[in-house]
Amino acid sequence: MSVVEKEAREAGQDFIRDIVRADLESGRHKSIVTRFPPEPNGYLHIGHAKSICLNFGIAEEFGGHCNLRFDDTNPTKEEQEYIDAIRRDVRWLGFDWGENLFYASDYFEKLYEWAEHLIRTGKAYVDDQSQEEMRATRGTLTEPGTNSPFRDRSVEENLDLFRRMRAGEFPNGARVLRAKIDMASGNINMRDPVLYRILHAEHPRTGKKWTIYPSYDFAHGQSDAIEGVTHSICTLEFEDHRPLYDWLIENLPVPSQPRQYEFARLNLTHTVLSKRVLTELVRGGHVAGWDDPRMPTLAGLRRRGVPPAAIREFVRRIGVAKANSTVDVGMFEFVIREHLNRTAQRRMAVLRPLKIVIENYPEGRCEEVEAVNHPEDPTAGTRHIRFCRELFIERDDFMENPPKKFFRLSPGTEVRLRYAYFITCREVVKDATGDVVELRCVYDPTTKGGNAPDGRKVKATLHWVSAMDSVPAEVRLYNPLFTQPDPDVANFATELNPNSLEVIADARLEPALARSKSNEPVQFERQGYFCPDPDSSPDRLVFNRTVGLRDTWAKVSAAG
Ligand code: ATP
Ligand code: MG
């Protein structure tokens, strides 16, 4: 059993799984087919992960299959780059569509045929009204709409006009094909919705073949029916579209009868999951690209070092419900941290180095100390680190005039260097401007391994690297892109956090980190979880902070 299958078995109960189970038990369906239907107009984000885990998860759990279907009906916004990225990201998340890769554009001919079917049965008509006129006659939530003056065209005239629309005779926006349902319906989606619009645009897959394109509503359910989808699971905003979904399935000679079910989309605090805004963040240069580690995209999370299993675990824990809610992004980070705490090996890295010289350690000498790779997993083994006379410690771990509760290094205090010795600071060296540039310390040779034979204790253990063989690196720390918990999507540019990226140019890492692989996140002891960034080159390492060791969101919210 694969990890994903195992997770699927352990997946929680929810109302959609209850429906699927009941449909199998009652014999309504012999096997289950679901689909994940992204529009290739952007990269996938953590919200899509919820839908992917649900659709692929249900298929695996109940022995069915899940289709990956590109909902590519709007050629002005869709690109091959997005198709490729979506395929890569679904696979990375741990799911496999096997043979079941489809495109709504593969069904354009069939959909066209069905549109003519609706015309012939008197259930669709060509409307010459402009967009504004249609909007003005649609009515409101409390008032019915009014019929279009073109509503009662003959079947012949409708067929002729629709065929000429297809032939490219009319400019964009000149006419549309509408379903003839009910302009007085309480549900605005049923007030003669648009099925086809004219669009002279080249499509990534069908090229110039089409000058009319089906609407989402016309393409979606019919694509489900063609593929034999049994449960068409989508987010709540489509609940009001369900009557139209059902109307089209009832009024067309479709080969199967899919049903639509809605669940609540994922919302996260401090996070925008609107593809429109994410696109603007990329296009406007507010971030370095779709895979910028500050982005909530799967590509961004991957680059940041978030393991796919942590995303699946997060999605499992939030569950599937019917009511919209917002999940605290701190909970996402909690799950990532918990996962990495279990899986990431420990290393030492000094982000803001302060040099220390151990005056009573012989010049030119070096010794190896043994460091454990994972405190809770002995099978992860140990490694050797070189301890020498000159070391770097974290600048923050020293204070010349410490307040009462500061237990780390200060003049005269003794602390432990992890895995090595106790040291005491004897002298502070400053430059002309008064900045501390070096500490002169002494070590106690009897404390090798970090314990004093006389039983004396120290209050702090510091991480360190040796000056001689540590490797320099750039370390990128990420802060929330939006400081407000509920960013105003309309004015997102004014809400962007100017300090979302903090670059540390001259960190120092223990040598083993030079061999890190991008898919192997590590813990920098006392700092957090990090992984190499693809910007790394043989002579310049770059690391990303995936997540810190502690929850910083509480602080952010309080400050916000
Ligand atoms: P838009 O419709 O604005 O382009 P979208 O995020 O809905 O954006 P789609 O490509 O249509 O993009 O989404 C594919 C699938 O992912 C849909 O079934 C949609 O319901 C689901 N989905 C999108 N956002 C979320 C979310 N935040 N939580 C859960 N599912 C989501
Ligand atoms: Mg959508």
Compute the Cα dihedral for 104, 107, 110, 113 and give only its sign. Answer: positive
**Which atom number of ligand 1 is nearest to the Cα of residue 237?**
20
Q: How far is CA 479 from CA 275, 312, 416, in A?
A: 21, 23, 31
For every residue of 399-430, which 3-state class applies, written as one string? CCCCCCCCCCECECCEEEECCCCEEEEEEEEE
Question: Is the CB of residue 40 below 6 angstroms from any atom belonging to ligand 1?
Answer: no
Backbone angles phi, psi at 365, to 5 degrees: -90, 160
Question: Is the CB of residue 234 below 6 angstroms from any atom belonging to ligand 1?
Answer: yes
pLDDT the model gives residue 10: 56
Residue 180 tokens, joined:
């003839």
On whether the 347-466 domain is CATH 2.40.240.10, my answer is yes
Q: How many whole angstroms separate alpha carbon 245 and alpha carbon 253? A: 14
What single letter denotes the amino acid at residue 328?
D
Rounded distance from Cα 39 to ligand 2 centre (Å): 7
- The string of DSSP codes covering 106-134 is GGHHHHHHHHHHHHHTT-EEEE---HHHH
Residue whose CA lies nearest to ligand 1 atom number 14: 38
Q: How far is CA 517 from CA 306, 522, 545, in A?
A: 14, 10, 14
Count of Cβ atoms closer than 10 Å to residue 199 Cβ: 16
Question: Is the CB of residue 68 below 6 angstroms from any atom belonging to ligand 1?
Answer: no
Q: From 336, 298, 181, select the one nearest 247 (Cα to Cα).
A: 181
Give alpha helix (H) positions in 228-307.
242-251, 275-283, 298-304
Contact 343, 307 (CB under 8 A): yes
Question: Is the CB of residue 51 below 6 angstroms from any atom belonging to ligand 1?
Answer: yes
Question: Is the CB of residue 275 below 6 angstroms from any atom belonging to ligand 1?
Answer: yes
Q: H/E element holding 318?
A: helix 308-318
Q: How many whole angstroms separate alpha carbon 231 and alpha carbon 224? A: 9
Q: What ranges do the domains of the chain cover?
A: 108-215, 269-305+472-560, 347-466
Rounded distance from Cα 510 to ligand 2 centre (Å): 46
Question: Is the CB of residue 216 below 6 angstroms from any atom belonging to ligand 1?
Answer: no
Mutating to test ligand 1, I would choose from 235, 277, 295, 327 the residue with most ligand atoms within 8 A of its C-beta, which is 235
Rounded distance from Cα 184 to ligand 2 centre (Å): 26
Pairing relationship of beta strands 522-524 and 528-532 according to DSSP bridges: antiparallel
Count of Cβ atoms closer than 10 Å to residue 440 Cβ: 13
Ligand closest to the CA atom of residue 45: 1
Mutating to test ligand 1, I would choose from 265, 280, 318, 326 the residue with most ligand atoms within 8 A of its C-beta, which is 265
To the nearest 10°, report the CA torsion of 247, 248, 252, 255.
-100
- Kindly give the parts of the chain with pLDDT less than 70: 1-12, 552-560
Question: Is the CB of residue 52 below 6 angstroms from any atom belonging to ligand 1?
Answer: no
Q: What angle do CA 34, 36, 41 make, to 5 degrees?
A: 160
For every residue of 176-215, which 3-state class applies, written as one string? EEEECCCCCCCCHHHCCCEEEEECCCCECCCECCCCEEEC
pLDDT the model gives residue 557: 47
Contact 116, 161 (CB under 8 A): no
Q: How far is CA 97 from the centre of its chain?
A: 20
Each residue's pLDDT tens digit, 295-345: 999 999 999 999 999 999 999 999 999 998 899 999 999 999 999 999 999
**Which atom number of ligand 1 is nearest to the Cα of residue 265?**
28
Residue 309 tokens, joined:
């299993």
Backbone angles phi, psi at 85, to 5 degrees: -65, -40
Residues 6+ apart with CB under 8 A from 358: 389, 390, 391, 423, 441, 442, 443
Question: Is the CB of residue 279 below 6 angstroms from any atom belonging to ligand 1?
Answer: no
Q: How many whole angstroms separate alpha carbon 270 and alpha carbon 559? A: 13
Q: How many whole angstroms separate alpha carbon 132 and alpha carbon 176? A: 13
Residues 6+ apart with CB under 8 A from 411: 400, 425, 426, 427, 428
Each residue's pLDDT tens digit, 85-115: 999 999 999 999 999 999 999 999 999 999 9
Rounded distance from Cα 54 to ligand 2 centre (Å): 16
Q: What pTM was estimated for this model as a whole?
A: 0.94
Compute the Cα dihedral for 109, 111, 113, 115 and give only its sign. Answer: negative
Rounded distance from Cα 345 to ligand 1 centre (Å): 35
pLDDT the model gives residue 517: 84
Rounded distance from Cα 423 to ligand 1 centre (Å): 56
**Helix, strand, or coil here: 82?**
helix
Each residue's pLDDT tens digit, 26-41: 999 999 999 999 999 9
Mutating to test ligand 1, I would choose from 36, 43, 48 the residue with most ligand atoms within 8 A of its C-beta, which is 48
What single letter denotes the amino acid at residue 487?
P
| Strands lying side by side in the sheet with 345-347 | 345-347, 522-524, 528-532, 541-548, 471-478, 501-509, 349-350
**Which atom number of ligand 1 is nearest to the Cα of residue 52?**
16
Residue whose CA lies nearest to ligand 1 atom number 13: 38
**Helix, strand, or coil here: 542?**
strand
pLDDT the model gives residue 2: 61
DSSP state of 37: -
- For the domain spanning 269-305+472-560, the CATH number is 2.40.240.10
Residues 6+ apart with CB under 8 A from 344: 374, 520, 521, 522, 523, 529
Q: What is the CA radius of gyration of the chain?
A: 30
108-215 and 269-305+472-560: same fold? no
Q: How many whole angstroms separate alpha carbon 342 and alpha carbon 519? A: 15
Token pair 């925008």 is at which residue? Answer: 272
- For the domain spanning 108-215, the CATH number is 3.90.800.10
